[in-house]
Structure 1
Amino acid sequence: MIDERRKLLKWLATGAGFAVLGAVAGPVIKTAYPEKLRVVVIGGGFAGATFARALRRLDPNVHITLIEENPQYHCGPLGAEYLVDKRDEKTLTFDYKNLAFEGITIVHDRAIKINAEKKHVETRTSNYKYDRCVVAAGISFDFEHIKGYNQELADVFPHAWKGAKQLDILKKQLHEMPDGGTILMSAPNTEYRCPPGPYERVSQIAEYLKEHKPNAKLIFLDSKERFPKQAQFELAWTRLYGYGTEKSNIQWIGAKQGGTVTELRADTRELICAAGTFKGDVINIIPRQKADLFTAANGLTGDNGWCPVNTQTLESLKIPDVHVIGDAADAQSLPKSAFAATCQARVCALAIHSIFNNRPLMTPEYMNVCFSLCGTHYAISVSVNYRQNPESNKVDIVSANITPLDSPADQYVSEVQSAYSLFDNMATGAFG
């Protein structure tokens, strides 16, 4: 029995079960209890939807309610392709019909409060009782960190880091910018959703400029001294966009070079940093991030703005019987990525299944796989395996692999297809 459960844990946690969990039919595990236990899930992104479907297969007798305000989910992965007309918005938008078909109760309402004493979740219109509550609320933004920037100005200088509306604003600005224009981008040096994401966006925009606005350029003002997969990205930029030469349409200015943005002058469309004053026709500011405001309002966040959890079960260290998964969770070492979120969802589902059935908890293994599309026929990747450390509550890296700098040309082409396959598998696992 222990060996079987270990195999199941690895299958769930590492993502090997994407295809099976994504199908309508899947493994059903008999439960030991006769009563109808209740789980309420708050948030219907990759984490929340994957959790609900995973638990449905592990515990078909559990009543699962997923509360998500929006009738459709617009996802972030591959959003950079949408910006530059490589992808239709429909391919990034998912509904909850398949989850409802599988017996998961879908409630399109806004969650307001977790009443830990009465063990119910309050929405704008109703209350939902739970035995376990799973919060997959995602992120919010710190708009005040840069002087002169605020939430209202995000519609003028978009972050395009959450939601379809923001992506549409940035896309429109990119397309309307004249040839010879300048795009300014900035990113924080603190934790944020999809660490390599800004640099994939740089790559996709650079390719768009090369083809459609060859006299335009992009200047990235970065708050970090180094960034994820930097050597691999810079090699791609050199090969594809002449990075490091006068002909390059990409200029990266890191923190050591004074790239940390301290001020926005909205009236003159300027970003201020130690490296100087930069004027942009399009300004894309990716602000500092923290857990969604719902988590703070309900006492789930720690001093760093994220939600501390027990990395064995993803249960909150603040409120018992409440779990936090996905980008909002401070899951130690695990990055805030869609793949890591789905992995956490499966670990959490198995943990709740074990708790409901009075079975011993396992020491979970985690995994993160991240592909970055640097061009139409060029992608790079990193994959990391983790194991939870019961003593420290940290998630330790066991092994890591990154695209070698001496890879043959056909590997970069192959990784493009692998990126699309991974996205399709994640979407199927979450939304069916």
Structure 2
Amino acid sequence: MAVAAPPASLGDRIDLWLAAEPEGLADPYGLFEEIRAAGRVVLHNGMAFVTGYDDVKALIRAHPGLSRQAASRGGRALAFRSALDDAHRRTFDEVSAIQELFISRTDRDVHARLRAIAHRAFTPRKIAALEEALQGFVDELIAREQGKDEADLMNLAYGLPLWAICHLLGASPADREPIHEWSLSIGANHGAFDANRLTAAHAAHGMFDAYVQDVIERHRLEPGSAGELVAALLDAEQGDRLTEAELSAMFVVLLFAGHETTTNLLGGGLRELLLRRDAWDALVADPSLLPNAIEEVLRYVTPVQFLFRYAIGEIEIGEDAIPAGATVFPLLPAANRDPDVFRDPCVLDIRRPEAGNHLALGFGPYFCLGASLARLEATVAFRTLLDRYPRMRLVDAEATHTGSAMLRRLVDLRVVLEP
């Protein structure tokens, strides 16, 4: 059955959100509820938006009718490319060639091969062994904010995940800031389809690639000069399992994805908990609630807003059909607020028994590779703040967001650090 287009006003709001306009990023959750009300599948300008929990869950696992190469091959991507001038079209093709090798963009057998290699550095034992180092990072980052009339906890939210992934990869402290800036440029281009963002991402990829090649060469000349993950990737290459291009792409995506998404979890999660004094005070009184609270924050905030795909052929969802070539948006925050699955879904409840059923970290064979690291980082950061600053409070309940529709993040998170 054909799917009706949304009302013009809803389509306009979708476009504002995808363009990462301030009014579009301010409250996407309200937009997602409008999309849910408009239908099980909502088509708009060659895109298909899906909100239901069961439907999203089916789409984000290895669905045979979908590919994860939507950013370069989906209908929206091809329409964007066709509208570019020759120079920008070459830029698009070069960025696409790099990103099609990302583990987060590969499909099925290729993904399984790359994941098996990267997983060597993300075993539960290796992640658990990072806790002491993470605590040291948190202590240092908090120390930088102490004594200020208003501390900005986005410095912690940015800093901790960046330090963690750089530690895993053996990147030096001096490398952290450039890596952060390159990551912001690449992240801002995800799902945006904007010529200026594309150009900035292209430049960032060039600098990232030069940096990665330097790290790899130094490690080859001085084994052990880089981190354990780099060694694992290089060993895989020596076993003829990774091409040079795959090796570089793996390094880049781990540096980028390894901290951008957790930044959104930490910043957004802290803000939502501080907005609800009863939740914060309950965690202060009973720290054993923290593991479930982190799952609830993942559900409620959903750091990555969608995992887009493109339809290889026509796909049926119930009585609705997604046409071949459509760019498919399984909306993770909408799935995580599906009233058929979560009781009072728009309420943050740190005691929610079904909190762990969220899809914030994906599902199935494409489940987030760094999920255990993200959870550990959140545990160490939240635990430390709850213990040291039980009366910590927000300076302003209002928030400003930036980034992209996929990776929406806070500009700042100003608090008063009260013991």
Higher relative contact order (CA 8 A, sep 6+): 2
Query: Whose helix fraction is larger, Structure 1's or Structure 2's?
Result: 2
TM over 0.5: no
Query: Whose strand fraction is larger, Structure 1's or Structure 2's?
Result: 1
